[in-house]
Amino acid sequence: MPILDFPSNYVPDGEAEKLPPVALGILAGASEEELSKAAADYLAGRDFIYTLSVMCSPESEIDAARVIYAQSLEELYQAMGIVRELGLNGDVDSALALEIADRDNVYVLLKKLSETGAVGHIASGYILRWIVSRWRESSMREMASLATAASIIEEWGKRHKVVGTSRQNVMRNVWREYSSVAHLWAALDLMMEAGREPFTPSGFVQFCSTAQWLLEQGAAIVPKGRRDGESVLSLDSAWSVPDSFVLRTQRGSIVHLWNLNLGAHDIRNMMGGFPV
């Protein structure tokens, strides 16, 4: 089972003052409350960017590492500029200076990753949302299947002239490539529709909790016609969220975001058709 390896996991206890926004805040005389918020906001943003890179390229951890490294170099560049403005002196290793000067643009990297598989990103999320929403309605469980969901995607694709949305391609290629992150794309869709920000500390936990809930829902659904064990999502291959980022009730239920309106989980009702 692949588990999201958030960058925040690599910040040792008691070393938050080394984070760029915190270090700069200390220099500016920020309060403890302001420093704590700066650290939390910074780590949530980094964790979200890492997660988004995994969602865009679930088969390549190299892409995620490249995005995070580019982000780190950009932060160093920004920090160096602020240090100079404050009139402070500081030496930078020549090799690091060259890497900073030749750094990739993190936003360009993410844009390229997101555009490369845009159809798969949105289709996988809506496929899972369709199946989970119909399965939760006992009278509609016969419609809770990959085949039906793929037909809905095809209908939407024809309406908006979206290439790559044929039922056959969705089932054979799109779902196979992105099913391991479908719960993450579905959770992101739900966050956006609810007007929640997934890159803030509280928003990121809500996003993660919703994604894990969707993963567990999908892993428990075996559509009609499938053999036992052939669930919609596989816990062995899907990207799981670390327990420390999943909010649960005292009884163990995951606190999640969901829309009880069935129409909300039908891609044909998505506002604006295909997102740009």
Using CB atoms within 10 Å of the CB of residue 152, give its burial: 0 to 12 exposed, 13 to 18 middle, 19+ buried: buried
Residue 173 has pLDDT above 70, yes or no: yes
Whether residue 91 is predicted with pLDDT greater than 60 in this model: the reply is no
**47 and 25 assigned to the same domain:** yes
- Residue 274 domain flag: no
Question: Which of 115, 138, 158 delimits the end of a domain?
Answer: 115
Of the two residues 111 and 99, the one the predictor is more confident about is: 111
Residue 78 in this model has a pLDDT that exceeds 60: no
Beta bridge partners of 206: none
Residues 17, 65, single domain; the answer is yes
Among 25-39, 84-98, 198-212, 215-229, the range with the most confident prediction by mean pLDDT is: 198-212
Domain of residue 84 covers: 7-115
Asked if 13 and 61 sit in the same domain, the reply is yes
Please state, as a whole number, how many other Cβ atoms lie within 10 Å of the Cβ of residue 159.
Answer: 12
Residue 58 resides in a domain: yes
Residue 87: inside a domain, yes or no? yes
Confirm whether 64 is domain-assigned: yes
The answer to whether 120 and 178 have CB atoms below 8 angstroms apart is yes
pLDDT at 85: 53
pLDDT at 32 over 80: yes
Same domain, 125 and 186: yes
Q: What is the pLDDT of residue 141?
A: 94
User: What pLDDT is attached to residue 94?
Assistant: 46
* 275 occurs within a structural domain: no
Indicate the residue among 115, 145, 178 that finishes a domain: 115
Asked if 216 and 155 count as a contact pair (C-beta separation under 8 A), the reply is: no
* pLDDT top residue among 28 and 194: 194
> Is there a single domain that holds both residue 46 and residue 131?
no
The count of structural domains within the chain is 2
Mean pLDDT for the stretch of residues 192-210: 96
What Cα–Cα distance (Å) separates residue 12 from each residue in 7, 25, 89, 267?
11, 19, 27, 43
Q: Tell me, what's the pLDDT at 46?
A: 86
Q: Is the pLDDT of residue 273 over 60?
A: no
At residue 20, the pLDDT reads 76
Examine residue 1 and state whether it is found in any structural domain, yes or no: no
Tell me whether residue 2 is in a domain. Answer: no
pLDDT category of residue 98 using cuts at 50, 70 and 90: very low
Share of the chain above pLDDT 90, in %: 55
Bridge partners, 3 (sequence order): 240
Q: Is the pLDDT of residue 97 over 90?
A: no
Put residue 190 in one of left, alpha, beta given phi > 0 → left and psi -120 to 50 → alpha: alpha
pLDDT of residue 125: 97
Q: What is the pLDDT of residue 92?
A: 46
Is residue 65 located within the same domain as residue 121?
Answer: no
Say if residue 99's pLDDT is above 90.
no
Q: What pLDDT does residue 276 have?
A: 34
Contact between 142 and 224 under an 8 Å Cβ cutoff? The reply is yes
Could you tell me if 72 and 167 lie in one domain?
Answer: no
Same domain, yes or no: 97 and 139: no
| Predicted pLDDT at 249 | 96
